[in-house]
Structure formats: structure tokens, C-alpha cells
Structure 1
Amino acid sequence: MAPAPEEPSSPAPSAEEPAQPPPSPAAKEPAPVTAAPAPAALSRARPKIDTFVTAYGELLFGYHNYGLNQNRTGGAQRDSRLEFDTTRFVLEMKGALPDYGLEVEVEVEFEHGGTGTAMELEYEEFGEFDQELDKGGEILVEELYISKKLGDHAALAVGRFYVAVGTLSEFSRPTDYLGTIRDEAETGIIPNTWDEMGLRLRYKFPWGLRLTGQLVNGLDSTGFSSQLWAVGGHQRRFEVQRATDMALVFRADVTHFDGFIFGVSAYHGDTTRNRPKADLVKSCEEANDREVAPCGYVSAPLTLLDVHLSVAKGPWSAKGMVMYGHLKNAELVSQRNARLSNLLGVMRTPVSDNALAAWGELGYDIASVVGLSNSHHLFPFVRYDYVDTQFKPREELYDNPRFRRTIYTVGVAYNLLNTVYAKLDFGHRRMGSNAFRPENTLRLATGFNY
């Protein structure tokens, strides 16, 4: 039998490497490794975040019996045309930290199917073709704010949010109104779903009163025009919004009565120093050319006042609003706007001192009458829009009746669980004089809301 192999002997330690003492019995097992304590910020448990995602989308199909050029003598020509539009897709996301009273909200809107460059034919600018990036479609961040609860009844927000005037700041989703489009009265004098940046403070009284105060950037008066009054003042043409002129907003809504909301709102803010160039300034002798406006600016504040109502009681649905607007020094604004560059993409038409808008709709749910379950809603409705963007103007400005419009609409709106909807309506538009040809539109809208 072969002898067992010898255990290899350990090499003798060199002079440079002294011999190690034999391990003690207690050192035979390696000591457990203890990790260094993690930083406090990393060791905390992730806070509970409540997240919500909602969205809605709209498709619109329209037939029009009039031409595009409404500025012709006698009104638009007779025509027969169809228009299809991917009106908008809106995605709204919320994240809340309930333990801290914090909430973040983001709302992104995709309009007209995407983005790109498109040509636009501006008949108010003597039939010129304009190339505008936003007309091929838009992606807009309409809301982006952080809100902090202050006790049980108040909340303070900072960021971008809807300006609290009119009805569309509260009722902008397609299931909030009965027509196929948002009301033409409100969107005829102020921006559609008007959003700005600033601070917002809300306070809700337990007995049914909600107050809203806002401090936001003001409008840009270069975009004001004859046909759309202050609509074009919304600052979207440049990357950065000017806020040298700020605006104050106040709104009060009575919510005490079940199914009824009624209230008032007011807006006031200057529009001069938010223009792209300091071109609306006062002149004086011995002006310091090192200052942008050594003698000061021409003041052109915009004031808006409105009364609004919303009813959702039993089978009845109704909404309404009356809004009045006033622009100080509108004549000086008009004179300067007439000399603006074509490249700015604004109308350059005279703007009136005053504007007036009123609208209302009334519908009755007949779903149960026709044998549908309570998951369905079917509203025959009527709607009335009136908008005058040259309401009682200064004597020097011709009160053009083409800018006084009345729209009568009848239709039916259907929705399933306020999620999927379809609407069909017929609108008849009349101008402020019988010299202008009436305009008829038949529209079909469909989409979803969740």
C-alpha cells in the first residue's frame, strides 16, 4: 500500500515578512462584518404617494355652408365644406403626499393631432398667408403646480394653473358642457382655457363659500384685435413669458345649495410691459437713452368682470355666464399695434375699449323616458351665445356690426357613465346687421373622458 502523501509544509517566513503568531481558538471563526450606517436621507422609508391619472379626448366632424372669409362685404360667401379635426387629447396626472398636505398636478394637452408647421390664411390681415408653428398642432403644458394645504380649509399653490375667470376654468372637459364645442362667447374675448403662472390661494368655508385669489403674469397687448379682443394676448409666441406686468384675480363661488354653483369673478392687470419690445412708452424731453423707458410706460390695464351659474339637479343641466371687459387706452394700443412687424404673427387690427360676452345652455335628461338605464344620459339641449368684441367703443372707432355675433344652437348630447360620449348639434350664427349673410354649421363630436 502506497504511503499517504505528505502535507505540504508552509514556506518559511522571509526576513521582510515576520512570522505570524498561531491563531487563538477564539479567532478561528471570522468576525461578522458590520456595514456602516446609511445616511439618514437614504435610510428613511419612501413616503406614501397617492397617484391619479385622468384623461379625455375629442374628435370633431363639421359641415359648414359658408366660406372661410368672413370679412367680405355682405359676409362670407355661400359654400359647402367639411372639416375633420382631432381636437384635443388631454392627460392629467396628480401626485399627493397626504401626510404632508402636498399635491402636484400636471396637465398636458395635445391639440389637432400633433405638432408641426402649417400655413394659415388670415382674412383679417387682408388675406395674407402666415406660417405658424402652433397651427400644425400643439403640445401644451396647461397646468403644472405644487399645492400645499394650510389647515382644513385653505390651500396655496405655485406654478401654472387656470385663471379663475369665466366658466371654462371650472368646466372644460367635454362632459362638462352639452355643445359639441366650448362656448363661442367666452372664447371670443378671452383665451380658451386660459392658463398662466403665479400664486393661487383658495379658501373653502364649511357652510358653502369658496374663495379664490390669484397673482399671475399679465397679457401681452400686441395680440389684441378687433375680432377676438384679448384672446391673442395669451403669451405663447415666445419661450419665456413676461411678467413685468402682473394681474390680480378674485373669484367667489357659492356651493351651499346641492347641484347649484353661482358666483362672480374679477381680473385686473396691465398689458404694456409684457409686450415683446418696449414700444408703448411715454415721450419726454431730455430722456436718458440708457434707460429702456426713461419717461415711463403708457398704462393699458385690462379689467374683466363676470357672473356665472352652473346647475346639475335631477335631470336638469344648465350653465350660463355674462362677462364684461374694459381696456384702458385702447386707442394708443391700436395705433402702436398697427405698426408691428408682420413676423410677429399678430392681427394688427384696432382693438375696442370694451367687450361683452354672454352665453347659456339648458338641457333635460330623457334617458329614462326612452327606456335607458341610469348608466346612460341623453340630453336634448338649446344654447345661446352672444359676443360683441366692439361693445360701445370710443367715438373714433367704427362700431363694426360684423364683430357682434349671436349663435343659436340646438342639439342632443349622449354619454355613458360620463365616460364615452357623442354629441350632435346645429348652430345658426347671425352678425350684428342683416347686411351680413347668416352662417350655419352642423357638428358631430365624440370622444372619451375618465
Structure 2
Amino acid sequence: MKLVTLLLGLFVVLIAQNASSQENEQKSSRLSVGGYGEVVYQHFDYSADFNRFTYPENFSDKVSRGQTDIPHLVFFLSYDFGNGWKISSEIEIEHAGVGAEMEIEAEEFGEYETEVEKGGEVVIEQFWIEKSISSQFNIRAGHLIVPVGLTNLKHLPVEYFTVLRPEGEHTILPQTWHENGISVHGRLRNWQYEVQLVNALDVDAFGSANWVNGGSVSPYEYKLATNMAGVVRIDNYSVNGLRLGVSTYAGNSTGNSLKEDRYEGLNGRVWVGAVDGEYISSNFIGRGSLVYGNLSESAEISRINKNLPSAAPSPHTDVAKNAMSVFLEAGYNIFSFFPQQEDKLYLFAHYNHYNSMHKTVAGMLADARYKRSVYTAGINYYPIPQVAVKAEYGMRKFDKPYNQENTISLGIVFSGIFN
């Protein structure tokens, strides 16, 4: 709580300083304060019972239930000290500030379990200092966004059509993925690049449902960094309105277990490759992403993780050799047919196919429940560019014998600079 009080106090001081600095235009232009957030309502026609995958024949009847949530509320600030030096940070409050929650864990035979997120009620999503040398070369160090996949690059709620972040990448990769490390980035004509060295993932938290996603969340007061990882992202802007990008992540994970001797002789190398693109014209937006990942020695890691002590930060399940996600979405502003309209209304369609157990080693069951296709259609209304009202209908489909799951989602989102 001392950290929370200190950080929130810092925000109050900086915002007050920004208000008083109107007398000094030069100083006020150096400080930026902003944020983003979502308020969401969802209606489901399927049960939340963890047995719906164990006994799907008992859950074929539709049910009616709803929930509300504030998935993210983020405040960010940055300050330009001059001479190429800049500091920036993001502080995120997740799910209305709940730091611990009780849930029934489907992968552990319906046990009641308390989940605790790193940072309690507050997550520091970014905190770095940067030295800008030129447009071609800049150095950044601190707590960084790992820009692998489209959603980690474009994670503001006005940067995708769906009410929540695209489901596939959100399942198999950390979202938003942030690690401690150092980055070199810049732009060379139509090419933009970033190269990072960051702390690698923690093998203890890998599992069937979310592949390596949980490996970024440290249950300790620090992040283990015995193993480091490399990240490379390259984007091209040669065609007007079009961005095409590739990104990759590679690093061992067994050294970042608090008891790494459990994995003696193993590397647990995680490799992720992604290709994504976005095209934006005056009235049309199209996006797409393909993510594919590989984990070495998944059989040995699965055997160890399933036998970890019950209190260990692990789902205690098998973890697949390969996971994948692909999504495509496109939307058109139908208000373009009415030239007097300055606001925008996008009709959109979204397709997402993903599988956290895409390929497994011999002898490991690839659980069919994790192979999913999601079809979504809806609208995004933008009264101003910084605010959107979203509505959608989504169908999540599985192979037999699992039942289709349908969701209606409504959201109000914002993203912008306050000063």
C-alpha cells in the first residue's frame, strides 16, 4: 500500500504541477498526462460451471447470465527533460482494483483457489528512461512493453474493434506483455525497428489453457532474471496507410524458476514468431495477425510442473510443444455515406482461431477444448476519436462434443492525452 500511495501521490503532484505550469508554456509542453480504460457488460448463454468441458452433454441447454467489469484503467505520464532525455510510465488498475480473487479452478478438479496478481491492486505496465540520440537510434531502459504480436503493439481499446482484446493472443501470450530490460529502437526511412534484451519467462507458470502466458507474472516481489530473452520487431510503412510487421521472442525459461534445480539439464526454450499488419484509409480499417510458438522439452517440463507442491505458482497441467493464434478483422465507416457526419460508425467483422495445445509431443493428449474458433460481428461508434461505444455478438465454436458458446458484449472505452 505504501507503493500505491506513493505512485498515486506522484500523479496528483504532477497533474497539479501541469495545471500551474500554464504560466510557463515551455515547461508545460514537456509533460504529458493521459490514460485509457474500458467499462464492459457481457451476457452469456452458457454456464460458468467448470464441469461444462468435463461433461458437455449435461450443459447443452442455454442459460442466461451476465457480468460487468472494468478490465483496465490506465494512467500514463511522461516528461521530456530536454537534451534527448525522457521518462515515461504507465500505472494500470485491473478489474476495478481487485488484487486477489477466489475462483473455482477447472483444471484442478473444481478446487477453490485464491489468485493473487503481482503488484496487488496496481500494476506498473511501463516505467522507463530514454536517451534519444537521433530518429534512427534511441536507447530505452526500465520496464518495457514487449512488442510481440499485434495486440501487444496495439493494446489501446481504440486500436481494435472487439470489446475485449483479441482472444487468441490474449490467451497464449502475456497481455499486455511487459518485462524489465533495455531496448534500442529507431526508424530508417520506411522501416521501424526495436531490439530488446529482457528478463525471460518463468517456466513454473506454463500450462495447458494459456501455454506460456502466466510466465510473465511474478508471484514474488521481484522478477527472476537468471535467464534473459531477446526480442526483435521490424515494421515497414512503404505503402501509404499500410503497416506490415514481423516480431520474434527467444529465451530459456527454466533458470527463472525460484527452484531451478528442479529443471536441471533442461532449457525450456520459448520461441515466438509473429506476422501482423494493419491498413487504415479514411473509412476502412483492416487488421490481421498470425502468432506461432514453440517450447522445447515440453514433455519433461509438463511432468515436473504437474508434480510441483500445491502451493507452487503453477496450474499443474501439461504444456504443449506448440501454440498458435490467427485473427483477422475489418470495419467500414458507414457514416461516410453522410458527408455532414463528423463522427464515425464502423460495422466490423472479426475472426479468431487459436489453440494453446496446437501440437503436443508423443504420449501427451492435446485437449480439444483449447482448439477454438471465434466469430464476431458488431459496431464501433466514435463520437470523437478518443471515445468509442462498442457492441458485438460473438460465437465461440469447438470441435465435438463441446458446445458452442455465445456472448453479447457492450463496452465504453477511451484513450487520450489529458493535457
* Pair in the same fold by TM > 0.5: yes
2:255 matches 1:273: yes
Q: Could you tell me which of 64, 71, 79 is aligned with 2:44? A: 64
| In structure 1, C-alpha distance between the alignment counterparts of 2:393 and 2:149, rounded to whole Å | 24
Structure 1 residues 67 and 388, CA gap change in structure 2 (3 angstroms) = same
2:349 is matched with which residue: 341, 366, 382? 382
User: What is the letter of the counterpart of residue 195 of structure 1?
Assistant: H
Cα deviation 1:315-350 (Å, max 9, x = unaligned): 111111001100000011101001112222421110
Matched residues in 2 for 1:96 and 1:127: separation? 51
Where structure 1 has 5 or more consecutive residues not aligned to the other structure, the ranges are 1-46, 283-296
| Percent of matched pairs sharing the same residue | 29
Corresponding residue for 1:405? Answer: 372
- In the TM superposition, what are the counterparts of 1:42-441 in structure 2 within 5 Å? 48=27, 50-68=30-48, 69=50, 70-74=52-56, 77=59, 78-98=62-82, 100-134=83-117, 138-205=121-188, 207-282=189-264, 297-370=265-338, 373-374=341-342, 376-431=343-398, 433-441=399-407
Any gaps of 5 or more consecutive residues in structure 2?
Answer: 1-25
The alpha-carbon deviation at position 425 of structure 1 amounts to 0.3
1:252-285 CA-partner distances (Å, limit 9, x unpaired): 1002222111111111000001012124343xxx
Q: How many residues align?
A: 386
Structure 1 counterpart of 2:408: 442
User: Using the alignment, how far apart are the partners of 2:57 and 2:87 within structure 1?
Assistant: 48
The whole-number CA distance in structure 2 between the counterparts of 1:246 and 1:76 is 46
> Within 2, Cα distance between the matches of 1:102 and 1:118?
40
Distance 1:88 1:364 in 2: 26
Preserved contact between residue 204 and residue 313 of structure 2 (Cα < 8 Å): no
Q: CA deviation at 1:63?
A: 0.4
- Aligned-pair CA distance for 1:212: 0.8
1:227 Cα offset (Å): 1.1
CA deviation after TM superposition for structure 1 residue 64, in Å:
0.5
Larger helix percent: 2
What is the alpha-carbon distance in structure 1 between the residues aligned to residue 81 and residue 287 of structure 2? 34
Q: Which has the larger radius of gyration?
A: 1
Q: Is the partner of 1:252 in helix, strand or coil?
A: strand
Specify the code of the residue in structure 2 equivalent to 1:66. Answer: Y
* One-letter amino acid of the structure 1 residue matched with residue 35 of structure 2: A
Q: Residue 203 of structure 1 contacts residue 212 of structure 1 at CA under 8 Å; is this kept in 2?
A: yes
> What corresponds to 2:14 in structure 1?
none
Deviations, residues 185-226 of structure 1 (Å, cap 9, x unaligned)? 111111111000100000210x21011100000001111111
Q: If the length of structure 2 is used for normalisation, what is the TM-score?
A: 0.88
CA distance in 1, matches of 2:120, 2:288: 30
- Mapped to 2, the partners of 1:355 and 1:138 lie a distance apart of 30
TM-score between both structures, scaled by the size of structure 1? 0.82
